[in-house]
Structures are given as structure tokens and as C-alpha cells.
Chain A
Amino acid sequence: MPPAAGVWWTGDRVAGLILVAIAAIVVVETMALPLGTLSRPGPGYAPLICAVVLAALGILVTLRRGGAPVANLRWGEARHALLIFGAGAFAALALERIGFRLTTLAILVFLIGVVERKPPLPVAAVAVAISFGGYYLFWNVLRVPLPTGPFGI
């Protein structure tokens, strides 16, 4: 569906410009690598070609009249998405510091209990079952070591 006349900022334009920017960064970084020749391509050869093609396609996507106007995008789920993203980032930071069981316990209590506001009893049951059960499954059944935190938990 072509966007309404006068709307410049469509989804495709935003994405296209971001792709051009990424391509530009790659080109700049490639300058530090030896380029080589056509018959002996160096480490910088493939990235440079890919970046140039990416820039060209980014421009093409930008120039086409495509995508819905950005203003029409709805961000109703963004708050949830941000919280889940935060929980994931916490997992990456905490996993090797406080161990698998405490990390998953915290994430599950946060997401189910705080974000989704479910009653405490089922929250506790699911959180304990997944974190300790998951550890048991990996370590005791499959012999795959998962990180442990202080006091061996």
C-alpha cells in the first residue's frame, strides 16, 4: 500500500537509512585491513564488497515508495518488550556471577510475578521448578555443567 502523499518517514526509509549507516561504518572499519587484489583477495575484500552492496540496497529501499508511515506504527507492546529485554540482559550479566539457579529464579519471579502480576504461589512454584529442575536435568541427568554461584548454588 503506497503511503499517503506527503509522508516522508516510512518504515522502509528509516530501515534503509540505518542500513546505509551500517554500511558506512563497515567501510570505515575495513580501511584498517589489507584489501588485496582480485586474484588474491585480502581480509578486507569481502567485507568491503558486502558493505558497498548493502549501501546500494539501503539507498534503493530508501528511494522506493514503500512501507507504512512510521507515525502509524503502534508501540503498545514496547513496555513489555523493554522489560523482557532487560531480563535477558540481566541473565547475561548474572549467569556466571550468581549461577544458573539464582539467575533463572530471579528472572522468572520478575517476569511472571512483577511484570505479569500473577499470584505468588504459582509464581514461586514455576520459578523453583524451572530453575532447580532445569539444573537437575542438565547436571544430574545429562552431565552438562551449568554455572554455579556463591555457596555452590
Chain B
Amino acid sequence: MIETLQNLALGFSVALAPNVLFYAVLGCVVGTLVGVLPGLGPLAGISLLLPLTFGLNPTTAIVLLAGIYYGAMYGGSTTSILMRIPGEAASVMTCVDGYAMTQKGRAGPALAIAALGSFVAGTLSVVALMLLAPPLATFALRFGPPEYTALLLLGLIVLAYMSSGSMPKTLAMATLGLVLGTIGIDAMSGFLRFTHGVTELGDGIGIVPVAVGLFGLSEILLTAGKDTPPQVYKPKLHELVPTGEDVRRSAAPTLRGSLLGFLIGIIPGSAHIISSFVSYGVEKRLAKRPEEFGHGAIEGVAGPESANNAAASGAFVPMLALGVPSGPIPAVMMAALMIHGVSPGPLLMEQQPALVWGFIASMYVGNLVLLILNLPMVGLFVNLLRVPYAYLYPCIVVFCVIGVYAVNSSVVDVWIMIVTGAVGYFLRKLDFDMAPVVLGLILSPMLELSLRQSLAMSAGRYDIFLQRPIAAIMLAIVVVLLALSVWPALKGGGDWRTRVGLDEKPG
């Protein structure tokens, strides 16, 4: 404990040195700028801006990158709440209730709660990272393909709480997402599936273009031509601040989201994307008034936003403790470190204490800087809504195009966004929800790959899932959850249709 405090003191002495602090702030500002652009999330942000760090020393470089990363995350929630444009896959759930709040004139509280929730989650998970990194990292490495399969199956269960519509429609949309996710090269055999000679489809359909299309573009297509144009929104000062009730209602979801996000975040791979979906499902399940979800429930903003941010910090646990490139973002960070002559490995914490603890301390600093930067900006951002829609939406279209293009320099991605925008337009007119499609698209390739990897590991024997304790426990949870949701339906006898949503719910 004392050692940790000493290390932390060392970290803060590094992070608060004027030049490092400068780069932390710069990173937060640049990251926010990039994150506000539609389609450009944290991963795209730090990837695109990686070259900016080449002239710096390793500590300032990683502090700058961390700042960009956090900043992009905050920026992403801003566009999700104000314009229903997800900066990345993980903010899809924020779009749903955040934007619903904006439409009710409550953009201010939504933004403020998102910022506060992110701050709390960020700070809590940095504390957890600091105290628990080595043991947690060793545990996280035991997550191989079988454990991953079980985790993703748990993710599928969340679908039940994903939308307010009827169950068959929700499941149909999710399956549509699963089907879309099978497009591209089959990672196990090298066969190309459904690409029809388009090389760019080889890696499958990108999640970000689909999310921007289904959520952002479809919204513009639905709104721009309305007979009565959307009202120019003039917030009063007191409406910008969350009410006492907002804060009370957000407290528990924020804490649950932080814990959930951190635990999912430390697992190597890309599972951290689903943390915000899982948090949304959990909050809806626990909520006193689940019917408010989808229509501007503040819990639906606080939970996923916190989970998202906590997962971001959690992802650094295996990287810092063991030098493992445990996900796309730590991989980019490690590449940056290697260019500067620091090769991250299990000895990183011992050999480079100033760098590691400086980085951890700068995560505290970055979270605080962002809070200070963003709370006053809430007013400014909300004022964006004063811009008449006739000017606003063409600019959003342009930024969507360029944001989606810039990530992979791919025109095919732009096409995907435009086509899914049109598809989303029609489906939403027919009263379908879009979030399950995105979740299906995220889960499909990961689930298929990890299942088949598991079978490759066991030479085709399914008992591999039962022989590995973590996987077996998670599968047991899946079975229990399924039973719990089917049981009342069976017991309820006559009205089971209502229970499973075969009939329209009253109201």
C-alpha cells in the first residue's frame, strides 16, 4: 500500500511537471475536437494522430495519446446526445436515450450526466487499475476463446432488454445484424463470403459506418423534410444543469456501469465494445420504470457512458502489468512506445516506473481536465442546437462522410454509411429499432470466431466449454438467465404471449 502511494507520488511528480501537463491538456483538447467529428472515435483518433507523438519523449507521447483517447471518448458522447451520431460503436446506446432527452429539451442535463459519469468511472477504474493491475492481468489472460464464447453469449442475452418494441421484431433486427456480420473473409478458412468481388468487403462491414448510417444519417433523412422543421431550441440557464433527481437517479447506474465496464474492459480483445450494451440492459432490467427507457431515461445515459469509460481504463491493465497488446487501443499505444525505444513487457512497471506511474497519474489528471473543460462547454455545445436545421444538417452530412472516410481512407465505407442510412430510414418508418442490428453486427464475427477457435483448440469437442471453469460458470449464468426469463412465461399460462411480447404491449 505504502509502495503504491510512493509510486503514485512519483507518478504525480511526472504528470504535474509543466511540460507533461501541457501535453495532457493538449491531448484532451485535440481528442475532444476529433471525437466530436462523427465516426471518429477514440481508436480512430489515436491512430490518426499517432504520428503527432513521434517527436516527443516516451512519457509525453503516451500522456498525449491517453489525453486524445479520453478526449475522443467525451467528444463522442457529445455528438451522440446532441445529434444521434455515434462517434464509435460503444456510444450507440448513448444515442438512444441521450438524443431522446435532447428532443425533450434536456440536452444540458444529459451532457452533464455523461461528463460526470465518465469522470467518476474514469477515476474509479484508475484507482482499481493502480491497486489491482498485476493480479487482474494474470486473471484476464486466462480468457481464451472458450471464455470469450461464453461472454459473448451473455452479451446476446442482453438483447432481451435492448429495445422497447416487441420481442420478435427486436430479435429479427439482431439476427439481421448477425447475418451482416458474416460478410467478409472467413477468419478460419480464408473463404470470402458474400463479397461479390469487392475487395474492401474482405474485412467485413465496418461497425462505425453502419452505426453512423443507421443512427445519424437515418435521423437526418427522417427529420430534414418534416412539414414543420424541428424547433430551434433555446435553453435557459437552469435547464442546463441536472436536477437533484437526475443526480440521484444516475448515482447507482454510474457505479454499476463503472464496475461492469472495468471487468469487461480488462479482458483482452474487443469485448469492451459490448460493455455499454450490457450496462444498458442491466439498467433497464433493474429500473423501476423500464418503460421510460428509449424515451429519455437518464439511467440509460449514465450507465453506458460510465461503463464505456471504465472499460477504456480497464483495457490498460494487461498492457501495463504484463506488456500484452490486449486490444486495439493498447496495441497502438504499445506501438508508440516501441518507436520510442520502450518495449513493453512484464518488466515495464519495474523498469520504467516513471513512465508507467506518470501515465497512470496523467489518467487522473486527464479525467479532471476533461471535466473542467467539458462542464462549461455543455452550454456551448447545446447552443449548437440554435443553428437552424437547414444549415446544420448539411454540415452534419459532410462531417459524417469525411469522418467515416478518414478512418480507413475507404470510399466503400462511405457507401456503407449511405446505404445503411437509407435502410435505417425505411426500417424506422416501419417502427423497428436500430440498436439490436448494431449489437448483432458487433457480436457476430467475434462469436463465430471464438466458437470455432475453441473447437479448433479441442479438435471438435464441445466439452471444452465445461472443462474450463470460467467458461463453465458463465455458461451456467446464461442458462439461469434464460430460464428466469422463460419461466414466468411458461407459468403465466394464458397470457404467455404478452410476456414474451408476441402481442403488442398495452400502451
* A contact set with B: CB distance below 8 Å: 1-2, 11-12, 14-16, 19, 22-23, 26, 29, 33-34, 37, 39-44, 46-47, 50-51, 53-54, 57-58, 60-61, 64, 66-68, 73, 76-81, 84-85, 87-89, 91-92, 95-96, 100, 104, 107-108, 111-112, 116, 118, 122, 126, 130-131, 134, 137-138, 142-144, 146
CB distance from A70 to the nearest CB of B (A): 8
Contact residues in B for A37 (Cβ distance below 8 Å)? 460
Inter-subunit contact A91/B414 (CB<8 Å): yes
Inter-subunit contact B193/A33 (CB<8 Å): yes
Q: A61–B168 Cα gap in the complex (Å)?
A: 6
Contact A95 to B401, CB < 8 A, known contacts A80-B225, A88-B217, A143-B52: yes
Inter-subunit contact B391/A126 (CB<8 Å): yes
Inter-subunit contact A43/B191 (CB<8 Å): yes
Q: A142–B397 Cα gap in the complex (Å)?
A: 21
* Dominant secondary structure of chain A at its interface with chain B: helix
Q: Name which residue of chain A comes closest to B416, CB basis.
A: A92
Which of B33, B166, B193, B427 is the most central at the interface, judged by chain A CB atoms within 10 Å of its CB? B193
* Dominant secondary structure of chain B at its interface with chain A: helix
**What are 16 pairs between A and B in contact, CB < 8 Å?**
A15-B432, A42-B189, A43-B191, A54-B172, A76-B225, A81-B221, A84-B220, A84-B221, A88-B417, A88-B421, A91-B414, A91-B418, A95-B401, A107-B398, A111-B394, A130-B395
Inter-subunit contact B224/A81 (CB<8 Å): yes
CB distance from B39 to the nearest CB of A (A): 13
Q: A78–B30 Cα gap in the complex (Å)?
A: 38
CB distance from B81 to the nearest CB of A (A): 22
* Given pairs A64-B166, A84-B221, 15 additional interface contacts (CB within 8 A): A42-B189, A47-B194, A50-B179, A67-B430, A80-B221, A81-B422, A95-B411, A95-B414, A104-B398, A108-B398, A116-B391, A126-B394, A137-B33, A143-B51, A144-B48
Contact residues in B for A77 (Cβ distance below 8 Å)? 221-226
Contact A67 to B52, CB < 8 A, known contacts A54-B179, A77-B224, A85-B221: no
List 5 tightest A-B contacts by C-beta distance, closest first.
Answer: A80-B225, A77-B225, A39-B460, A111-B394, A43-B186
Cβ-defined partner of A39 (8 Å) among B394, B414, B461: B461
